[in-house]
């Protein structure tokens, strides 16, 4: 009877005795157990107690089914852990409904447990201490399960007080600033394991009821930031004190020769106070004359500005002070350049020659240092590097040793510099120089060539292993994030390696080959190093030819656009397409996007390329609409294109020019581009969304996402990168990543698209996980516009 009644509820197994049931249970592990009371060998109550005492079966719901209808029987059954009691004879429909309801409850309980487990995993991985407290400051939750932060491992059920978990100073600061209605944000200092640490504390009330409050408190360790600020302040103060206390007079001007700074010595020698001389021309504050003829002399600072080079004062020169007294001086003037090498002013350093020859020698040494060192990082510049490189190669030739040259370039530095501003770009350069220097022994030279390029000169090398070991260490250490403007930023580097005398006969060739090797590292995906080889020069020539081809194609509007269809996984019908740029070489062959897209980014052509693809995709979408296909076309937006202030205007113009409904256009933006400036990103996305188009996050999971930012962005679609789809059925970690991304997207109400689907097994797995849409070679490779239209018509 039960078999007929419960048909369709699930797979049923029967046992005619408790002994048989106990033997079969380990292999079955059922979702629910229906249990009679009167049975041979062991009655139902004893069987129930046995099951509840075994951790393997304790959570399995038990429904008693019996002919006994006494209330005492039902009471005892429920007390022993049963969830329901069905009397015989029973109503078949009611019996089935009860079993179905309990199965639903059991399934929902399992889903809740899985959700909690996933949340626990996510919370454990964030580098933030997350805690939750009751009104008496007893802990209700903490993600510090292992006691990593303060050495006190605990679980929420421990219900221990704040002073047990956190340092005393930290407890006092949090409790004293806690509020019932407002959020507070403050920094506190506390000693942890004998070291003074600084923490950013965020406290907010949570689930208040009457006068009873609960508090959500998160902590971020900002000790390194604090120490960096202290070091930066000390450096600035050291520089100020140095300029004010040195024995030389210093005057700085803008590019017009108007004074912007004077130190006390300059005030004393000229007789002018800085507050009076500020913004005045230098020749009115520091008039010069020939000591013999008394004829006025041109201030060398003007020549330094005009000729953009360092100049020294003419011999036998006198300064006419404000009082009319004359002072024999010796000086030099040097232009001041910004990061782009543009002259933005000049600096004049002079002193009273009569006071001491030693002062003149010191000044000469200072000027020599300025000429041979980078002004931003104080590292050796190209001039000093070339000198040391020549000496190193000569010594290596004599001792039969090798010289290693590593050229380091920051990946995508231009985008970060343009987004954050040059001030933060300079700060990043300085932090990078500091980190690189910490990796090198004293015998090596770290130099800055300018921009975002560094060079490491390795001497006394006997094997390639030591060079590759250092290159490995450099690439790996760059993974640690840099903190700029209260935000963490991740950067990577590309490193080119050239070895003397293996790869080059002289220093010039050694530098050039390191540069070629560095470009190879960028072509291979960045975030890596590459040794020079003979075929690299040929590859560089090929790169120049491809750039020429790309420029010609853009000029003549000859960029090809292919379309890869997106399919509904269940119905297997086309529901969209991704527009993909293609470049045709002079020989008629299609050049791989993996070659010309990075080339377009490096050469600054990516904006023009993205604009051309956008217009062609809108034109094709209009043609599809004319043929009765309301299929949206998605267009990729590069990071530089997304940061362009003209993106919104281009999108609006393209929609208007082709009369295309906005729902037919979708922009695909990589998560890396979205993370550069979260506030600016949100404003830009809101503007784009106001046009009525859809926004997709491309290649999700491959960048450095911040979930706290992601939840605030106004996006519609999340694309799962093909790198995870490829091995999801053979690699447990990839499968769990895909599962987590789908779960995250569903929880945020985003439409999900899987990239790179190639097999039916992948399709079935994605359907089971809840992913509705996919694109990949299982259905179609990227095809021409005509081929894509044929696919649409064949479906129709």
What is the mean predicted confidence (pLDDT) over 700-711? 62
The tokens for 602 are 């490096």
Same domain, 528 and 455: yes
Looking at per-residue confidence, does 628 or 416 come out higher? 628
What's phi and psi for 192, nearest 5 deg?
A: -130, 120
What lies within 8 Å, CB to CB, of 665 at 6+ separation is 617, 618, 621, 632, 633, 634, 635, 651, 654, 655, 693, 694
Tell me the angle at which helices 606-626 and 593-603 cross, rounded to the nearest 10 degrees. Answer: 130
How many structural domains compose the chain? 5
Looking at per-residue confidence, does 121 or 441 come out higher? 441
Beta pairing class for 590-591 and 633-637: unpaired
What lies within 8 Å, CB to CB, of 740 at 6+ separation is 118
Boundary residue ending a domain (123, 149, 174): 123
Residue 264 lies in a domain: yes
Give the C-alpha distances (Å, rounded to integers) separating 88 from 1, 2, 41, 68: 11, 11, 21, 7
Q: In which domain, by residue range, is 17 found? A: 2-123
Sign of the CA dihedral with 24 first, then 25, 26, and 30 last = positive
Residue 544 lies in a domain: no
pLDDT digits (tens, 9 = 90+) for 453-470: 999 999 988 877 788 889
Same domain, 755 and 643: yes
Is residue 476 scored above 50 in pLDDT? yes
Is residue 648 scored above 60 in pLDDT? yes
Q: How far apart are CA 250 and CA 267, in angstroms?
A: 9
Same domain, 318 and 170: no
What lies within 8 Å, CB to CB, of 206 at 6+ separation is 132, 213, 214, 215, 216
State the burial class of residue 673 (Cβ atoms within 10 Å of its Cβ: 0-12, 13-18, 19+): buried
Same domain, 566 and 468: no
Give the C-alpha distances (Å, rounded to integers) separating 353 from 331, 356, 357, 626: 9, 6, 7, 86
Same domain, 493 and 636: no
pLDDT band at 370 (very low <50, low <70, confident <90, very high): confident
Q: How far apart are CA 568 and CA 774, in angstroms?
A: 7
SS3 for 359?
Answer: helix
pLDDT band at 359 (very low <50, low <70, confident <90, very high): low
C-beta atoms surrounding 177 within 10 Å:
13
Tell me the angle at which helices 606-626 and 534-555 cross, rounded to the nearest 10 degrees. Answer: 50
C-beta atoms surrounding 356 within 10 Å:
12
Do the Cβ atoms of 641 and 610 come closer than 8 Å? yes
Beta-ladder partners of 561: 581
The tokens for 421 are 């501003």
Is residue 563 scored above 80 in pLDDT? yes
Looking at per-residue confidence, does 169 or 257 come out higher? 257
What is the mean predicted confidence (pLDDT) over 755-770? 95
pLDDT digits (tens, 9 = 90+) for 171-186: 888 888 777 677 788 8
The tokens for 234 are 């000390």
Residue 320 lies in a domain: yes
What is the mean predicted confidence (pLDDT) over 350-356? 73
What is the mean predicted confidence (pLDDT) over 705-712? 62
Q: For position 270, which CATH number holds?
A: 3.30.450.20
Give the C-alpha distances (Å, rounded to integers) separating 68 from 24, 64, 75: 27, 10, 12
pLDDT digits (tens, 9 = 90+) for 571-587: 999 999 999 999 998 88
What's phi and psi for 9, nearest 5 deg?
A: -75, -25
User: What pLDDT score was predicted for residue 358?
Assistant: 46
User: What pLDDT score was predicted for residue 194?
Assistant: 76
Is residue 357 scored above 50 in pLDDT? no
Same domain, 505 and 518: yes
Q: For position 76, which CATH number holds?
A: 3.40.50.2300
Give the C-alpha distances (Å, rounded to integers) separating 690 from 648, 667, 670: 10, 13, 20
Q: How far apart are CA 673 and CA 692, in angstroms?
A: 21
Is residue 205 scored above 50 in pLDDT? yes
User: What pLDDT score was predicted for residue 618?
Assistant: 95
Looking at per-residue confidence, does 479 or 575 come out higher? 575
Closest CA to 769 of 710, 731, 728: 728
What lies within 8 Å, CB to CB, of 495 at 6+ separation is 406, 407, 408, 409, 471, 474, 475, 518, 521, 528, 529, 530
Residue 233 lies in a domain: no
Boundary residue ending a domain (73, 105, 123): 123
Q: For position 760, which CATH number holds?
A: 3.20.20.450
Q: How far apart are CA 554 and CA 609, in angstroms?
A: 7
User: CA 270 from chain center: how many Å?
Assistant: 52
Looking at per-residue confidence, does 503 or 667 come out higher? 667
Q: For position 390, which CATH number holds?
A: 3.30.70.270
Instruction: Please identify which residue in the block is written with the tokens 């527009």.
Output: 579
Same domain, 355 and 455: no
Looking at per-residue confidence, does 724 or 115 come out higher? 724
Q: How far apart are CA 518 and CA 456, in angstroms?
A: 13
SS3 for 53?
Answer: coil
Residue 88 lies in a domain: yes
Q: How far apart are CA 443 and CA 458, in angstroms?
A: 8
Structure letter (DSSP) for residue 589: P
H-helix segments, 300-438: 300-307, 357-372, 382-399, 413-420, 422-438
pLDDT digits (tens, 9 = 90+) for 292-327: 888 998 888 998 999 888 887 767 788 899 998 888
User: CA 391 from chain center: how many Å?
Assistant: 41
pTM (predicted TM-score): 0.42
Same domain, 135 and 116: no
Same domain, 133 and 278: no
What is the mean predicted confidence (pLDDT) over 683-687? 90
What is the mean predicted confidence (pLDDT) over 526-543? 73
Residue 230 lies in a domain: no
How many residues does the structure list for the chain?
796
Give the dihedral of Cα atoms 277, 281, 287, 288; nearest 10 deg.
130
What's phi and psi for 331, nearest 5 deg?
A: -150, 175
Do the Cβ atoms of 121 and 143 come closer than 8 Å? no
User: What pLDDT score was predicted for residue 122?
Assistant: 66
Beta-ladder partners of 186: 201
Residue 539 lies in a domain: no
The tokens for 84 are 């329901």
Same domain, 148 and 215: yes
Q: Return the minimum-mean-pLDDT range out of 78-92, 174-188, 300-314, 472-486.
A: 174-188
Same domain, 91 and 140: no
For the chain, what is the largest distance between any 2 Cα atoms, rounded to a whole number of angstroms?
131
Boundary residue ending a domain (70, 98, 123): 123
Residue 488 lies in a domain: yes
HEC secondary structure over 654-680: HHHHHCCCHHHEEEEEEHHHHCCCHHH
Closest CA to 405 of 538, 493, 529: 529
Q: How far apart are CA 620 and CA 612, in angstroms?
A: 13
**Mean pLDDT score across all residues of the chain:** 86
Beta-ladder partners of 196: 191
Q: How far apart are CA 104 and CA 720, in angstroms?
A: 31
User: CA 311 from chain center: how many Å?
Assistant: 45
HSE on the CB side for 601, CA within 13 Å?
21
What's phi and psi for 766, nearest 5 deg?
A: -70, -40
pLDDT band at 705 (very low <50, low <70, confident <90, very high): low
**Burial track 532-560 (b if 16+ CB lie within 10 A, e otherwise):** beeebeeebeebeebbebbeebbeeeebe
Instruction: Please identify which residue in the block is written with the tokens 């929880």.
Output: 747
C-beta atoms surrounding 62 within 10 Å:
21
What is the mean predicted confidence (pLDDT) over 323-344? 88
Same domain, 281 and 210: no
């Amino acid at each position: 009877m039960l078999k007929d009644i419960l048909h369709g509820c699930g797979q049923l197994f029967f046992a005619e005795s408790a002994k048989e049931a106990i033997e079969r249970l380990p292999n079955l592990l059922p979702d629910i157990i229906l249990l009679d009371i009167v049975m041979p060998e062991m009655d139902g109550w004893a069987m129930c107690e046995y099951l509840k005492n075994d951790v393997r079966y304790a959570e399995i719901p038990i429904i008693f089914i019996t002919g006994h209808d006494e209330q005492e029987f039902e009471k005892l059954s429920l007390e022993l852990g049963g969830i329901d009691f069905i009397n015989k004879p029973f109503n078949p429909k009611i019996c089935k409904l009860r079993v179905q309801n309990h199965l639903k409850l059991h399934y929902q309980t399992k889903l809740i447990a899985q959700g909690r487990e996933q949340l626990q995993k996510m919370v454990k991985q964030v580098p933030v201490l997350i805690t939750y407290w009751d009104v008496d400051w007893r802990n209700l939750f903490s993600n510090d399960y292992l006691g990593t932060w303060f050495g006190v491992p605990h679980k929420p059920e421990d219900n221990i007080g704040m002073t047990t978990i956190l340092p005393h100073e930290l407890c006092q600061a949090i409790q004293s600033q806690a509020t019932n209605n407002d959020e507070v944000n403050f920094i506190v200092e506390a000693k942890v394991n004998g070291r003074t640490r600084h923490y950013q504390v965020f406290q907010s009330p949570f689930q208040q009821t009457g006068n009873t409050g609960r508090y959500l408190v998160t902590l971020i360790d900002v000790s390194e930031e604090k120490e960096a600020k202290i070091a930066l302040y000390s450096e600035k103060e050291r520089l100020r004190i140095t300029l004010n206390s040195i024995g030389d007079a210093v005057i700085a001007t803008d590019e017009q020769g108007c004074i912007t700074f004077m130190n006390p010595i300059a005030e004393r020698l000229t007789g002018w106070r800085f507050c009076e001389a500020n913004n005045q021309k230098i020749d009115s504050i520091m008039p010069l004359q020939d000591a013999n003829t008394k004829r006025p002399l041109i201030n060398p600072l003007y020549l330094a500005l005009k000729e953009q080079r360092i100049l020294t004062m003419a011999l036998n020169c006198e300064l006419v002070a404000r009082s009319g007294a004359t002072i024999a001086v010796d000086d030099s003037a040097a232009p001041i350049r910004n990061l782009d090498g543009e002259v933005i002013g000049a600096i004049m350093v002079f002193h009273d020659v009569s006071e001491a020859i030693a002062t003149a020698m010191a000044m000469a040494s200072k000027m020599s240092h300025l000429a041979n060192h980078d002004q931003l990082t104080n590292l050796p510049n190209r001039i000093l590097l070339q000198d040391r490189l020549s000496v190193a190669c000569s010594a290596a030739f004599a001792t039969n040793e090798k010289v290693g040259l590593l050229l380091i370039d920051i990946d995508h530095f231009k985008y970060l510099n343009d987004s954050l501003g040059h001030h933060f770009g300079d700060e990043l350069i300085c932090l990078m120089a500091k980190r690189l220097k910490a990796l090198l022994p004293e015998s090596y030279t770290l130099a800055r060539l300018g921009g975002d390029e560094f060079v490491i000169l390795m001497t006394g090398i006997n094997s390639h292993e030591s060079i590759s070991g250092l290159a490995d260490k450099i690439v790996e250490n760059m993974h640690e994030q840099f903190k700029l403007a209260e935000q963490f930023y991740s950067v990577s580097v590309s490193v080119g390696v050239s070895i003397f005398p293996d790869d080059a006969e002289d220093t010039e060739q050694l530098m050039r080959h390191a540069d070629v090797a560095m470009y190879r590292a960028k072509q291979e995906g960045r975030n890596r190093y590459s040794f020079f080889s003979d075929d690299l020069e040929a590859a560089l020539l090929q790169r120049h030819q491809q750039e020429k081809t790309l420029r010609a194609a853009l000029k003549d509007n000859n960029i090809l656009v292919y379309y890869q269809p997106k399919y509904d996984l269940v119905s297997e019908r086309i529901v969209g397409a991704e527009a993909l740029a293609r470049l045709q070489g002079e020989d008629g062959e299609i050049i791989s996007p993996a070659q010309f897209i990075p080339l377009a980014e490096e050469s600054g052509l990516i904006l023009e390329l993205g604009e051309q693809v956008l217009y062609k995709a809108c034109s094709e979408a209009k043609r599809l609409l004319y043929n009765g296909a309301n299929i949206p076309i998605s267009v990729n937006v590069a990071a530089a294109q997304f940061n362009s202030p003209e993106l919104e205007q281009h999108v609006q113009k393209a929609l208007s020019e082709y009369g295309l409904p906005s729902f037919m256009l979708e922009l695909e933006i990589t998560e890396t581009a979205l993370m550069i400036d979260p506030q600016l990103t949100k404003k830009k996305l809101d503007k784009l969304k106001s046009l009525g188009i859809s926004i997709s996050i491309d290649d999700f999971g491959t960048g450095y996402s911040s979930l706290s930012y992601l939840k605030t962005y106004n996006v519609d679609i999340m694309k799962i990168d093909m790198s995870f789809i490829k091995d999801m059925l053979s690699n447990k970690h990839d499968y769990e990543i895909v599962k987590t991304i789908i779960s995250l997207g569903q929880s945020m109400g985003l439409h999900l698209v899987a990239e790179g689907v190639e097999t039916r097994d992948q399709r079935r797995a994605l359907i089971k996980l809840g992913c509705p849409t996919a694109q990949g070679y299982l259905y179609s490779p990227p095809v021409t516009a005509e081929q894509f239209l044929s696919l649409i018509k064949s479906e129709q």
